[in-house]
Structure 1
Amino acid sequence: MPRLRIAAGLIAGLFAISAHAASSAPDVSRHQAQIDKIVAEISPKRIENYVRKLVSFETRHTMSDTTSDTTGIGAARRWIRAELERCGAGTGLSVDFDSHIAPVSARISRPTEIVNVVATLPGAQEASKDRVYVVSGHYDSRNTDVMDATGKAPGANDDASGTAAVMEMACVMARYKFDATLVFMAVAAEEQGLLGAGHWAKTAREKNLNVAGMFTNDIIGSSRADDGRIDNKQVRLFAQSIPATKEMSEAVRQLVATGGENDSPSRQLARHVKEQGERYVKGFKVNVIQRHDRYLRGGDHMPFLEQGYAALRFTEPNEDFSHQHQNLRTENGKVYGDLTDFVDYDYTAKVARVNAAALASLALAPAAPQGVKVRTDKLVNDSTLVWQANPEPDVAGYRIVWRETTAAGWQGSKFVGNVTEATVNLSKDNYFFGVQAVDKDGNVSPATYPAPLR
């Protein structure tokens, strides 16, 4: 009888803890007023103006003119910098060139200066300011011949659309405060081999920067497919699983060993982007594509992936290849070329709003928990997870999330309070788990997949 009373007391205690955790849980489903304001301020008209100005430089080929004030890549990058400095005046936004000399290679016929335009908005929270989120578009353009540095290459969709979206985000978000640091980049030489993004990502790794997530926006300007279909209610978000390397890191090896191929840092980031993007941009779908990019193709997120950072690519749902990498011409009544006429600016603004909502939510939230592990020392049907406490002063507690092994997104969650260990009555055999940090305002971090604790 005493043993039954003890057991009953333990059960009552567990329910009391659970009830207390639930009662003290921040509301993670509510809209953050700051994010709503940012999303509302993204302007299709300003995006259109940016795209048209970029196209007015005639070509932005990496090896085009750098001395003219009206044509070529030099004029384009100076205008981008000046515009970001103008709209960031009086804010914390700082704008710089990031340059290096690219040697002769398959797509570079002479040593060429590659210049990224980088706008940085420092984080305001001491514990979070070294955590960095990067968003980019590439401002260079090309014709059918990737080495043609003089022919007109308007590059309205590929990728003035992505560059314009990033500029608009920088100008809007510069007027707000975030815990973590945001970096807005117009990168160069994507068409010549991802050279601008590659240089910045490599330098970031050498400096041991904590790049907690990166988005690239490349070809986000058209809602019309090559067969005329209009699809303006979704965007593709490409997210890598296991990197295609000859040797596995220990972290990747543990993912594979526990069936967590779909729980890479990039996939966790994509889940967060989808949840936040669809929350703040109503009626718009973020369609996570479980590939690192389009089939055997690539973009500026790939150098970040190679450096071990979580990175994603936004791209419109259906590409029209007659308006991509094409010399300007008309054949049999069909217009070829990447012209402003083929850009849907309202659609581009929707994609920019998804980016902005995701970036803002990430930069306001705590970091994803570190040291997350699942206990495996006993054969039991429930699952106990442990993790390290976050350093941010406004952390309210942690949330365990789970899904069945066949599900793409999280299906259940439980706020467990400001603790570093918790048990859920679900089998680690049948479910995948993650742990998220939650602050007092209800901002939620991406989930961290648990490694086995033996």
Structure 2
Amino acid sequence: MTPIAPLALAAALSATSVDPHVTQLAAAVDPARMQATVAKLVSFGTRHTLSEAQSPVRGIGAARRWLAGEFAALARQPGARLQPFEDRFTQPPAPRIPRAVEIWNVGAVLPGTDPARAKEAIVLTGHYDSRGSDVANAEVDAPGADDDGSGTALMLELARVLSREQPAIAVYFVAVAGEEQGLNGSTHLAQRLKQEGVRVVAMTAVDMIGSSAGQDGVHDDVSARLFSEGVPAAETEPQRKLREALGGENDGAAREWARYVKRVGERYVENLDLWLMLRRDRIARGSDHLAFSKEGFPAIRLVEAHEHWDRQHQDLRAVGGRAYGDVLAHVDFAYAARLGRALLAAVAELAAAPAPPAEVRLGGAVSPDTHLRLALPADPRAAALVLYRRRADGVTWQRATRYPRQAELVLPDVVPDNFVFAVATVDAEGRESLPVYPGKLE
């Protein structure tokens, strides 16, 4: 079979063009609004999960009530389709939580419009709790401007910008708590969604996106990191055997979502370099995406490229002329908004894209030709296919070729041992599903 118009690759590989509507949405992300949100969060003094819950002006309680009110206000705007969302529970004593405490995850849901995909969703989180030097100290001021006021502000901003959209599948914008105490809020949220039968097709934890000046002396406002697992945390024994047969250690669903965010985000935001990190998170550290990974959902973390540890998990103080603390003045909101625009573009495209292939089977072993057999989705908007390909020593996709909608692809003289493949669907407007890696061998 002859492919239709194979594409030359640029920095941002894609088989689609730029959508003017997505460009308009991305441009609407407002750094001034994000700054105002973070300033308000900082004003609560501390947002430690075990801090004051009844005060109207200080502590986690004041912060969560304000956030819930802001999400509710967005839902009341003319034309908005948002629905306020709340996930409230009592966390029993646990490591870093010496007593039972009520935790609120607050946010909004943008409902999907495709009845056949009513249980599919994209989930975005930022954590609004904060901490100082001692993770158990719930009294000390802990501004948490970057960690993670910046990610929480982006949840409100993305919800605002996308509030009138009509995606095929639902999008959750959630400010979670308990991250610093052990991913408590995100763990409950992931488990709840799983119990409710929600199939999270892609999740992103936005955790610290405001520092463009690192402790390594580098000022970088054009780069960020996307952390993702290659081997799923919830991998089953049959999945392990298939992975070992195919060599799919770099092709879990989370890694594919990270590639998608990089590809689409860099297309819509000029001079942006999203690093595809081949780790679940930074060394011996973690964020809320890991709670979703544990439940079997494809989850990644978006985080600044250069951290400054004097401004992270630190009490406010100065020692020998060296200032410590995660304060508003150190957050680069223009940079945070750039990262927000990239994520928004990827979410908007994926949420509106057709359903992906239900299954991809790979054949052609001991053969010079590659055979791919597809179980095509019933979605009538899946007008064509995009075949992604890279050599087996590569990390990112190196070639994208569009084909008409068909159940089988044959690639003459393309030895399957030497390449990795995945197949996406694409609609008439060029919106692509997540590429699907082969799930069976023939």
What TM bracket, shorter-length normalisation? over 0.9
Of 402, 409, 430, the residue aligned with 1:422 is 409
Instruction: Say whether residues 1:222 and 2:211 are aligned partners.
Output: yes
The 8 Å contact of residues 166 and 352 in structure 1, kept in 2 or not, is answered as no
Question: Is residue 392 of structure 2 the alignment partner of residue 405 of structure 1?
Answer: yes
Q: For residues 277-303 of structure 1, what are the alpha-carbon distances to aligned partners after superposition, in whole Å with 9 as ceiling and x for unaligned?
A: 000011111111000000111100001
Paired with 1:346 and 1:237, the residues of 2 have a C-alpha distance of 19
Contact 1:128 1:366 in 2 (8 A): no
Alignment match, 2:65:
78
Secondary structure at 2:416 match in 1: coil
Conservation of the 8 A alpha-carbon contact between 1:28 and 1:443: no
| Distance in 2 separating the partners of 1:156 and 1:180 | 32
Distance 2:241 2:269 in 1: 37
1:46-102 deviations in Å (ceiling 9; x for gaps) = 000000000000000101111111111111011111111212323110112211111
- Where does residue 153 of structure 1 map in the other structure? 142
Is the CA contact (8 Å cut-off) linking 2:233 and 2:293 kept in structure 1? no
1:269 corresponds to which of 243, 246, 257: 257
Deviation per CA, 1:121-150, whole angstroms, max 9, x where unpaired? 001222334320001000000011111111
Alignment partners' CA distance in 2, 1:173 and 1:221? 21
Aligned with 1:126 (options 106, 112, 115): 115
Partner of 2:39: 52
How far apart, in 1, do the equivalents of 2:248 and 2:131 lie? 39
Q: TM-score, normalised by structure 1?
A: 0.92
- The letter of the residue matching 2:26 is V
2 CA distance for matches of 1:291 and 1:67?
Answer: 40
Q: Which residue of 2 aligns with 1:360?
A: 348
Distance 2:115 2:410 in 1: 32
> Would the aligned equivalents of 2:232 and 2:252 in 1 still touch at CA under 8 Å?
no
TM-score, normalisation: structure 2: 0.94
In structure 2, the residue matched to 1:183 is 172
Offset at residue 322 of structure 1 (A): 0.6
What per-residue deviation string (whole Å, max 9, x for no partner) do you get for residues 371-394 of structure 1? 211125x74211111111112221
Q: Distance in 2 between matches of 1:200 and 1:157?
A: 23
Residue number in structure 2 paired with 1:199: 188
Whose radius of gyration is greater, 1 or 2?
1
Paired amino acid for 2:86: F
Distance 2:322 2:378 in 1: 59
CA RMSD after TM alignment: 1.6
Which residue is 2:423 aligned to? 435
Structure 1 distance, partners of 2:165, 2:387, is: 30
What does residue 151 of structure 2 align with?
A: 162
Q: Which amino acid aligns with 2:422?
A: G
Unpaired segments ≥5 residues, structure 2:
7-13
Q: Verify: 1:283 aligned to 2:283, yes or no.
A: no
Q: CA–CA distance in 1 between the matches of 2:109 and 2:248? A: 34
Say if 1:179 and 1:75 are closer, same or farther in 2 by CA, change over 3 A.
same
Q: For residue 227 of structure 1, report the CA deviation from its aligned partner.
A: 3.9
Aligned residue for 1:62, secondary structure, equals: coil
Q: Residue 153 of structure 1: SS of its match in structure 2?
A: coil
Q: Work out the CA distance in 1 between the residues paired with 2:273 and 2:325.
A: 28
CA contact (8 A) 1:366 1:438 kept: yes
SS in 2 for 1:255: helix
Matched with 2:28 is 41
- The letter of the residue matching 2:286 is G
Tell me which moved more, 296-305 or 397-406: 397-406
Aligned partners of 1:215 and 1:314 also within 8 Å: yes
1:302 aligned to 2:290?
yes
The answer to whether the aligner puts 1:395 opposite 2:397 as a matched pair is no
CA distance in structure 1 between the partners assigned to 2:355 and 2:187 by the alignment = 25
Aligned to 2:386, what secondary structure does the other structure show?
strand
What SS is found at the alignment partner of 1:433?
strand
Q: Is the 8 A contact 2:231 2:251 kept in 1?
A: no
For the 8 Å contact 2:15–2:402, the answer to whether it is kept is no
Structure 1 residue 109: deviation in Å? 1.5
Q: Distance in 1 between matches of 2:67 and 2:33?
A: 13
- Specify the alignment match of 1:10 in structure 2: none
Distance 2:347 2:54 in 1: 35
Q: Which runs of 5+ in 1 are unaligned?
A: 1-13
Give, in whole Å, the separation in 2 of the partners of 1:453 and 1:234: 38
* Pairing 1:117–2:101 present: no
Name the count of aligned residue pairs: 432
The equivalent position to 1:30 in structure 2, one of 17, 32, 37, is: 17
Amino acid at match of 1:445: S
